[in-house]
Amino acid sequence: MIPLSPQPGRVAIPVTPVTPTGRANWHWRVGFVPALYLAALVVLSFAHAFLASWYWLAVHLLALGAATNAILVWSAHFTSAVLRVPALPHRRGESIRLVVLNAGVVLVLVGGTTDWPWTGVVGAGAVFAAAAWHLCWLVARLRAALPARFAVTAHYYVAACCALLTGIPVGAWMLVVDDAARDRLILFHAHVNVLGWVALTIVGTLFTLWPTVLRTRLDDGAPAAARSALPTAVTGVVLLGIGALAWWPVLAAAGLGVFGAAVVITAVPGLRTAWRKPPRSFAAWSIAAGIGWLLVALGVDAVVVLSAADAHEAVGGFGDVLTPLLVGAVAQILLGALAYLMPVVLGGGPGAVRERGELFDRHWAQRVAMGNTALVVFVRPTGPHVRIAVSLLLVVALLQFLLPAARVLLKRR
């Protein structure tokens, strides 16, 4: 487990064994999965002209494929770390969950891009089963653990799983039914799954991950902030979901504001930590930029909801929200977290960890600056040629993560 600065004043220094362990072998195997979905996004960026539903496919490759796999793996890892429970002697349960999840993801992607919608429904059922199993595992670990300072992190994961289990049936329903309520269902499904499942997990993880990435101690106010941000974020998701489903735009915008307040509560101890130990790595700056884009996306989302005449118009404007939300926030935080975690958990001793970290940090300033500048240009009203050019820069930034990731994973083999 990664030490997570259990007491103020202690420095979070990742400690890895000199020889490969079962944990290292596990993370080596599962590390390929999110990377493959991200690589599929690169392929899609060049082949999208041949796919009518490429935009839907890109969204689900990132959110359902890469992000959901990473969440299942790392939420289990951090749950065991913060609860200080011994690791299980085998990984059979986690392995089966990931197999079921990815079988479901593939079927959902097929059903959403072909004329076989019921294939997607079956896939959604498999994803639902994997998420429900993961939820049961989290609850069991919480019940078996002794009181822990950051047990609240596992509660974030429980709440996020509940959000995903609420959003999946709505997405499956939309694959086979096209009725007057479709626009409201789209808004509900997108908001509950992306904010409730992905963003809520991010908020719960960053309290402990952020100071670890900076290799410094936890801020003294982090535990209290973690406890207060959870009910705030959950309240925001609930208000947002009800407002989107009933099309009460004021209530939906209020939910976005409440969720944004939870992100700010999270950011305050993080900013104090960064002031004490400034970030100097790709992982740290990518995560920091992602949190900034998350707040931007919430603000844009509130404007879109409040200015729309009806749910259909809100769905039409939601594309302006998805780019900063998924590319700016989710993708950057995912890449930053993996850039820090993968070198640490693959074992081999301090020298190997340092070597892998240097690979991920190569040209980090150029990558962060280029990716975020390109994204700023992309979200502004520009001509098609400019958007194509800056989208290629975003693909290059993704490749600059995937190439060292592939080198690290294949070299360890």
| pLDDT tens-digit map of 324-374 | 999 999 999 999 999 999 999 888 888 888 999 999 999 999 999 999 999
Burial class (CB in 10 A: 0-12, 13-18, 19+), 147: exposed
| Nearest in space to 39 (alpha carbons), one of 65, 71, 2, 17 | 65
Q: What is the C-alpha separation between 174 and 111, in angstroms, rounded?
A: 11
Q: How far apart are the first and last CA of the chain?
A: 21
pLDDT of residue 14: 40
How large is the average pLDDT for residues 147-172? 92
Contacts of 404 (CB under 8 A, 6+ apart): 359, 360, 362
> Measured on CA atoms in the order 150, 154, 160, 162, is the torsion positive or negative?
negative
383 or 199: whose pLDDT is higher?
199
Write out the two tokens for 376: 């700023």
Which span out of 88-92, 203-207, 384-388 was modeled with the highest average pLDDT?
Answer: 203-207
Distance separating alpha carbons of residues 66 and 30, to the nearest angstrom: 11
Residues with Cβ within 8 Å of residue 3, at least 6 apart in sequence: 12, 13, 14, 15, 212
Is the pLDDT assigned to residue 217 strictly greater than 50?
A: yes
What pLDDT is stored for residue 89 in this prediction? 67
Amino acid letter, residue 290: G
pLDDT, residue 413, reads 60
Report pLDDT digits (tens) over 366-375. 999 999 999 9
Tokens 């498999």 belong to residue = 126
pLDDT of residue 54: 92
Q: What is the mean pLDDT of the chain?
A: 90
Side-chain-side CA neighbours of 362 within 13 Å: the count stands at: 14
pLDDT for 20 equals: 43
Q: Would you state the structure tokens that stand for residue 194, as one six-digit string? A: 């992306």
